[in-house]
Structures are given as structure tokens and as C-alpha cells.
Amino acid sequence: MGILRPAGEYDTSYAADMATIRQPWQWGLLAVFLLALYTLPLYASQSTVSLVNRIGITIIAVQGLNLLTGYTGQISLGQAAFMTTGGYISALLVNNQGWPFLAALPVAALGAGVIGLIFGLPSLRVKGFYLAMATLAAQFIIPWFTRNAFPEVLNGAQGLNVNAPTILGMEFNNPQRYLYLTLSILIITTIVAYNVSRSRLGRAFVAIRDHDLAAELLGVNPFKYKLMAFFLAAVFAGVAGTLSAHNIRHLNSETFNLIDSVMYLGMLVIGGLGSNLGPIFGAVVVEILIELATIFGPFFIELFPSTAAGAVQALRPLFFGTTLMLFLIFEPRGLAHRWQLLKAAWRLRPFSH
């Protein structure tokens, strides 16, 4: 990965070879970028800050899915269901038990992880499309459970109102404040996802994705690593679900639905499967597309009087579906691949090869 380095310069230590950020100016760029994000509330409108919040939370969910689908190659249509699980656990702990948010978050993440592990069990017997069906079952059974089980606690289909999180006396009760929380957790999950993908664990995932029998012969236990991938994906989903529930302050069985699960998969493909930049590119592009649908919706009302107010709801799936199909046909490796090509072209400039 010695991209963006002049020829003839080599790493002189293993630490340098393993380093993620190789050049001092890259540290500078990163710092400027993070600073720009953290100071966003100072110069951006409230709706922009809300959008960035939503994108950040979506990125976390897609990062989890990337570990499972992108690196391990197991199709999951249940990511939103694990977000529901995490959201409910955290909402109950914070609202009813009075737990501090920072204690509830890891418990919710682990709880979602355990549920993810249970629905990952069929991966021991079936794979590919059959596994997608098993995770689809999670997408029906978990929301059903929240609608019907323990109505006195979970409040049925109405769902729960969720308190704003309080950390060290500070209440994160508006989008501007919440942004700090979202960004900080997003940085942690990005570091975790990145390091999982380049460690022994990530290499085992990739081995299973590329050829599970060959991986087994090389000493990678497919059962163990598949379950770990399911667990990790659900933990990320649990974190994202918790953050989202405390952000919109309300949660019911439809907050994270099948369409969301489909969209996360779509974001992953649009961004780039099995790449750490993929979830970030994909989530940003798709969330902005959806935002465009909200902006362009009113113009369509005049064109299609039959849909009236439904134009926005119609444009969202239309924009998303069309983008996804075009990417699948013309750029199946996603935006991350384009980005790599762009970087390589920059490095080799002025030569084309």
C-alpha cells in the first residue's frame, strides 16, 4: 500500500510497514478533516448537522455489514433487525433502569451481538442464498417480538420514547451536541473495523469468503469465524441502533425495517464491498441521494398528480434502486475501487501505467 509515495523510498521497520498513516502531511490532512467535522455545528445549518448525524450512524451499521458481507461473504438481510435489538436494549436500560448511556451502549451492543450470533447459527449448515433467507427471518421475527412480547415493557407497536443520553452531566439533546457523540463513536468503530480487517481475524474472514473449503484446509475454522463475523456485524448494528434510537428519541418495530437492511447492502455495493472506505462512500452517497429525493419531490408532484404527497416516498426507492442497479452493471466494485484507481493514476502521473 505504498501509494502516494515517490519511487525508491522504502519502509525500514515493520512498524512503518504496518502503519496506516504514512506521511506527516497525512496526519495533518486527517486532523483538518476531523476538525472540520467537529466544528460543523458552528457554521452549518441544523438540517445539515442532522444529516451528518444520520450518515455517521448509517456508516456504523454498514461497517458491521461490511465485515460480514464484504469480508466474510455471508449475505445478511437482517442488519436492521439487530439495530432494533440494540436500540431496545439501550432504551430500556437508560429509561427504565436509569443506567448511564455509556454503560448501556456496550451492553446493548453485546446484546445485539448475541442475538446476531443466534441468527448466524444457520450459517453452519447453509450458505449463500439460503443464509440470506435465515437472516430475512430475523428481520421478521425480531420486530414481531418487540410488537407482541411484554407489552407492559415494550409498549407494543407504539414503541418507546427514548431519553436523550447524558454523559458527565451534559445532555445530548439536540443535533449539534449529538454530532460530537456520533463522530466520536464513529471514529472508534472505524478504527476497530479497520484493524479487524487487517488482522488475523480479517484475513481469516477473507479466506472463508474466497473459498471456504480451502480456508478450512489451511486451518481456518469456518464455523468459528463465520459466527464471529455475525457477532461483530450485530455488535456494530447494536451500536448504530442505540445511537439512532437516542438521536430520534423514539423507537418502534418499524424504525429499522427490511428496506433499511436492503439499503445497507446497497450502500455496501455502491461504496465497495470488502473495503474499509466502502461503507463511508456508500452511506454518504446514498444518504445524500435520499436527501435529494426530499428536495426534488415537490417538483414531481406537478408531473405526477396521482401520487401527490407520495412523490418523496416514491423517489427514494427509485433513486436508490436505480443507482444500485447501475453500479451493479457498470462498477460492481464500487466507489472505493474508483478511488484506488484515481490514487494510482495520481501517483503514476504523468505516466499512464
- List contacts with another protein (CB under 8 A): 69, 73, 75, 122-130, 132-134, 136-137, 140-141, 144, 147-149, 212, 222, 258-259, 262, 265-266, 269, 273, 300, 304, 306-308, 310-311, 313-322, 324-325, 328-329, 332
Phi, psi of 72 (to 5 degrees): -95, -15
Q: In this complex, which beta carbon is closest to another protein, that of residue 28 or of residue 332? A: 332
Q: Rounded CA gap, 61 and 68, in Å?
A: 11
Least distance in angstroms from the C-beta of 70 to another protein: 9
Least distance in angstroms from the C-beta of 217 to another protein: 13
Least distance in angstroms from the C-beta of 180 to another protein: 34
Q: Are 285 and 334 in contact, with CB atoms under 8 Å apart?
A: no
Containing 247, the helix (H) or strand (E) segment is helix 222-248
Whole-number CA gyration radius for the chain: 21
Q: Is the peptide bond before 350 cis (omega within 30 degrees of 0)?
A: yes
Among left, alpha and beta (phi > 0; psi -120 to 50; other), residue 4 is left
Q: In this complex, which beta carbon is closest to another protein, that of residue 123 or of residue 244? A: 123
Q: In this complex, which beta carbon is closest to another protein, that of residue 38 or of residue 130? A: 130
Least distance in angstroms from the C-beta of 58 to another protein: 17
Q: In this complex, which beta carbon is closest to another protein, that of residue 44 or of residue 212? A: 212
Please identify which residue in the block is written with the cell numbers 407520495: 310
Q: In this complex, which beta carbon is closest to another protein, that of residue 109 or of residue 265? A: 265
Alpha carbon distances (Å) from 259 to 51, 77, 80, 81, 134: 19, 9, 9, 11, 16
Q: How many residues does the chain have?
A: 353
Of the candidates 264, 240, 246, 276, the residue with the CA atom closest to the CA atom of residue 324: 264
Q: Rounded CA gap, 284 and 271, in Å?
A: 9
Least distance in angstroms from the C-beta of 342 to another protein: 23
Least distance in angstroms from the C-beta of 257 to another protein: 11
Q: Are 52 and 287 in contact, with CB atoms under 8 Å apart?
A: no
Q: In this complex, which beta carbon is closest to another protein, that of residue 73 or of residue 278? A: 73
Least distance in angstroms from the C-beta of 346 to another protein: 29
Q: In this complex, which beta carbon is closest to another protein, that of residue 74 or of residue 182? A: 74
